[in-house]
Structure 1
Amino acid sequence: MIPLMLDLTGRAVLIFGGGEVGARKAAFFRHEADVTVISRSFAPAFDDLAVRRRRTDLAGMPDDDLERLVGDAFLVVAATPDAGLNDRIGRICRRRGVHFNNAAGEQGDVLIPSVIRGRRYLMAITTFGMSPAVPRYIRMRLEEEYGELDGMIELQGELRAMLKETEPSQEKRSAALWSILSDEEIWTALASDYADARRIAEERYLRA
C-alpha cells in the first residue's frame, strides 16, 4: 500500500453498518463525500451526523442484492459486526472495481487512517490495526512539542515567497528555510508574537 490524499468532494461513499464503528466512519467522510449508510438500525451517534440513512436488513441478503446496493459507489466501507458479511461485500467490490475498506474481516484495498489536522497541515497515520493508541500518542507529542506548527508553516510560506524574489540559488533558499526551522528562538516567538518571529527570521536569514 502507498499513502495518498484524495479529494472526495461529491464522491459516493457507502457504509454498511449503523453501529458505533459505522458512525465513526461516516463522521470521517461526511465533511467532503456524499455519504449513505445502510443498516437495519442506527446508533444514537448518527443523530447528529448529516448523512443519508437507509434502513435495510442485511442479514442473509444474497450477493445479487448486495451488488445492487453497492451500485456505482466510489468507496464502500463494511462496518457491520458480521465479518463474513463484510468479506462478501468486499468480494463484490473487488469484482466491480470499487474501493473497499473493511472494519472487521479481510483487509480491503483502502485503510482509513487516524488524522492529525491543523489549520495549515494534515497528517495521516496508520499502524495497520496493530495499535490504535499509537496515533493518539503521536498527536499528543506533536501538540506538546510543536504547538506552533501552524505558525511555522505560515512563516515558511511567506518567507519562501520572499526568497524566490530575492535569492536565485535554490540551494541557498533551502538552507535559509531550514535554518529558520531549526531556530528555537523563532519557535518560542511564534507562541506569543508572529510578527516578532518573522522579524527575527528576516534579520537572521534573509538579510544576511
Structure 2
Amino acid sequence: MRIPLWVEASRLKVLVFGGGPVGARRAKFFSAAGAKVRVLAKKVVPELQVIGVEIKLVDLYQYDPSDDIRWADVVVVAVDDPVLAEQLFRKAESMGKLVNDATDASRTHVVVPYERVVGGLRIAVTSEGAAGTPARLSLDVIEGCIKNSWIPLFFQIYKQLKAEAKEAIKETKKRLAYYQALVEDEEFLELVKAGRAQEALARGRSIMSKILIA
C-alpha cells in the first residue's frame, strides 16, 4: 500500500532514464526541489539542456547503468520502449531502489502527484495513474473550496499564535495543551469564522496566558 509522505528533496539523488518530454518533466520536478538529477538517454529534448541537470548521452540498449543506479536514491523510468522500460524497472528494483515508473503506474513505487499551495497549505492529489486529468482538475475545486472558507484566515492566525507559543511556553506538554485548547475554544473559532482576526488573536493570547499560569 502506498502512503503519502513529504520528503526533503535536497537530500535525494535521482536517476532519470529517458530524455523525452516525460523524462524532462520528472527531471525538472526533482531538480527544482533541490535534488541532484542525472539523466541517461541517447538524446534529450532541448529543455533538459538548460535546467542544470547532469546528462549522460548513452545508448540504453547497450549501456550498463548499474553504477548509476547504485548512485541514485530514486530511479525514474521514462522511456518509450515497453521492453526496455521493463528491463530498467526490474534492474533498479532488484538493486533495492525506489522507482517512479512513468510507463506503468500500477507498479511504480514513487507517485508524483499534482500539487499546489493554497492559503498556506500544500495540497497534493493523485489518482495513482487511473485518471490523471480528473486528479489535476480536482485541485481547482479544492482551491476554490479552501479560498472561499475560513481556513486561510485560521491558518494565518494559528501560525502566528503557534510562533508566539513556542517563545512563551517552554514546556512541550503545556504547549501541546495550548494548541488543543485553541481548536476546542468555541469563541476563538467563531471569531475566526466571522473574519475578526484581531479579536481572534486576542482571544488566543488570553488562552495562552491561562496555560502559562496553570
Q: Into which bin does the TM-score normalised by the smaller protein fall?
A: 0.7 to 0.9
Quick one: percent identity of the two aligned structures? 21
Letter in 1 for 2:204: A
Stretches of structure 2 that go unaligned for 5 or more consecutive residues are none
2:202 paired residue number: 199
Following TM superposition, by how much is the alpha carbon of 1:6 offset from its aligned partner in structure 2, in angstroms? 2.4
Superposed, 1:51-70 pairs within 5 Å as 51-58=53-60, 61-62=61-62, 65-70=64-69
1:186 paired residue number: 192
The alignment covers a number of residue pairs equal to 200
2:83 paired residue number: 84
8 Å Cα contact 1:12-1:75 kept in structure 2? yes
TM-score (norm 2): 0.73
Superposed, 1:153-168 pairs within 5 Å as 153-158=158-163, 160-161=165-166, 164=169, 168=174
Following TM superposition, by how much is the alpha carbon of 1:71 offset from its aligned partner in structure 2, in angstroms? 3.4
Following TM superposition, by how much is the alpha carbon of 1:90 offset from its aligned partner in structure 2, in angstroms? 0.9
1:133-178 deviations in whole A, cap 9, x for unaligned? 3244235233444444652451342354378469959656513234
Q: In 2 relative to 1, CA 77–174 (structure 1 residues): closer, same or farther, beyond 3 Å?
A: same
8 Å Cα contact 2:12-2:36 kept in structure 1? yes
Counterpart Cα distance in 1 of 2:54 and 2:187: 45
Q: CA RMSD in A?
A: 3.5
TM-score (norm 1): 0.74
Following TM superposition, by how much is the alpha carbon of 1:47 offset from its aligned partner in structure 2, in angstroms? 4.6
Q: In 2 relative to 1, CA 143–54 (structure 1 residues): closer, same or farther, beyond 3 Å?
A: farther
Letter in 1 for 2:64: D
Q: In 2 relative to 1, CA 174–164 (structure 1 residues): closer, same or farther, beyond 3 Å?
A: farther
1:113 paired residue number: 113
Q: In 2 relative to 1, CA 20–197 (structure 1 residues): closer, same or farther, beyond 3 Å?
A: farther
8 Å Cα contact 1:38-1:53 kept in structure 2? yes
Q: Is structure 2 residue 126 aligned with structure 1 residue 126?
A: yes
Stretches of structure 1 that go unaligned for 5 or more consecutive residues are none
1:51-73 deviations in whole A, cap 9, x for unaligned? 11222233xx14x7133442321
Counterpart Cα distance in 2 of 1:136 and 1:108: 22
8 Å Cα contact 1:156-1:177 kept in structure 2? no
Counterpart Cα distance in 1 of 2:175 and 2:14: 46
